[in-house]
Amino acid sequence: MSQILRPDEVTRKYGRMFCRGVFTLVDEANGKAMIIEECSAKGPVEWDAANRRRAGGVTTGVRVEGTTLIMDAIIGEREVRFGPASKDVGGQGLKAVKVEGDRVRTTWVGLAGASVGIGACMPQGPGTIEAVYPDDVNVGGAHRIEVSIVTPKMVRVIYAVDDTDTREKGASWVLMLKLAQSVPVGHYLEHKIVQLNPEVPEKTTNCVAVGASFAVQPKDLDALNDYVVKFVRENTVSENTTIAVYQGLVVPEAAREYGRRAKREILKVEDAVRAAEASGIRLIEVTGKRGTIGAVAGIGCFDMGIAAAGLPGDFDGP
C-alpha cells in the first residue's frame, strides 16, 4: 500500500522546508532527462550533489550552479548503490525516471538524514504535483525510504538570435535577456552570449550571437514560440534578424561543429542552413536571412559552458 500527498499536505506533515522549485525535463528521442532543483541555500545543494553522484542509479551527471542543483539522467531504472559510506553518512540517489503521459515520475531512495531532502523537502517544492510514499514511511533518523515525486513533463527549448542590432542602436544580449525575463509561459533557464569570429566584416561591434533556454510543458510550446517571435519582431532594429529554435537536451554534433567553426571561420547563410537541417534546428526569418549564420551558431555553442563566451584557445590552458 502507499499514500499520495500533495505539496501542501507534505508541508503540513513535515513543516516548511527549503525547496524553491522542481522541474523535470525530458528528451524522449534521446532517452535523456534533466532534473533541476532550486534551493534556498547552497549547502544542501552541494551535499545532495555529492550524495547523488556517489549513488549512481540513473544519474549520469550532477552540477551545482549557485543554489541550484542540475542532474542529468537516463529515462529508465537502475539500482542505487550507496556503498560502504552509507553506514556512516547515509545516502541519497535517483533510482528511476519514467514518463507517464504529460507527467514524469522520479523515484528516489534515501538513507538517514539524507532522506529528508527527497522525502520532505522536494515533495513540497513548487512544481511538484504529488509524492507517493509507502504507508509506513519514516523520514530522517536511521531510516531508509523510497519516494516517487510526480511533476509535469517539460521539454527544453533554446532560442538563439543574431543580427538584431546595428552599429548605432540596440544590443542582442539585452534584447534576449529582456525576452527571457518577460516570457509568460514556461520557466526561464539560461541566457548565453556566444562569441563568434570577430573578423566577420558584417559584425556590429562584438560579433556575438545570443541564446535563451526555457523549460516548458508541451501544451505551451505554441504560446511560447508565438511570444518569442512577436517580441523579437517588435524589438529588433536590424533588417537581417533570424531566430533559430531547437528542442531537446542533446545539441547534435553537426550543430556543435558548426558552432566551433563560427568562432574561427567566416561562414555563409548556406553553411548555416545545412547545419540546421542536419540538426533539427528550425529557422524563423524575422526581418532577413543574414542572422541565420550566428543564430545557428548560438544553438551549436549553447551547451559549451563558459567556452561559449570565448574564442578558440581562451580556455585551453590553466
Residue 316: its pLDDT value, please?
65
Residue 142: its pLDDT value, please?
59
For residue 76, the cross-strand partners are 97
- Name the pTM for this structure: 0.92
Residue 89: its pLDDT value, please?
57
| pLDDT per residue as tens, the chain (318 positions) | 789 999 999 999 989 999 999 999 999 999 999 999 999 999 999 999 998 998 999 999 999 999 999 999 999 999 998 766 555 555 789 999 999 999 999 999 987 666 788 888 999 999 999 999 887 766 655 567 889 999 999 999 999 999 887 566 678 999 999 999 999 999 999 999 999 999 887 656 668 999 999 999 999 999 999 999 999 999 999 999 999 999 999 999 999 999 999 999 999 999 999 999 999 999 999 999 999 999 999 999 999 999 999 988 877 644
Residue 238: its pLDDT value, please?
92
Residue 101: its pLDDT value, please?
97
Query: Which residue is listed with cell 524522449?
Result: 28
- Give the burial class of 300: count Cβ atoms within 10 A of its Cβ; 0-12 exposed, 13-18 middle, 19 or more buried: buried
Residue 166: its pLDDT value, please?
59
Residue 113: its pLDDT value, please?
63
The letter for the amino acid at 243 is I
For the chain, the residue count is 318
Residue 204: its pLDDT value, please?
62
86/51 Cα distance (integer angstroms): 10
Residue 144: its pLDDT value, please?
77
Nearest residue to 82 (alpha-carbon basis) of 73, 74, 92, 95: 92
Query: Which residue is listed with cell 517588435?
Result: 234
- In order of their start, the domains of the chain are 2-154 (no CATH), 163-309 (3.30.70.2200)
Helical pair 292-300 and 253-262, crossing angle rounded to 10 deg: 120
The DSSP output letter for 120 is I
Strands (E), the chain: 2-5, 19-27, 32-39, 59-65, 68-74, 76-77, 91-100, 103-111, 130-134, 144-162, 187-195, 208-216, 242-247, 282-285
**Contact indicator for 139, 14 with CB cutoff of 8 Å:** yes
Residue 13 host element (H or E)? helix 7-14
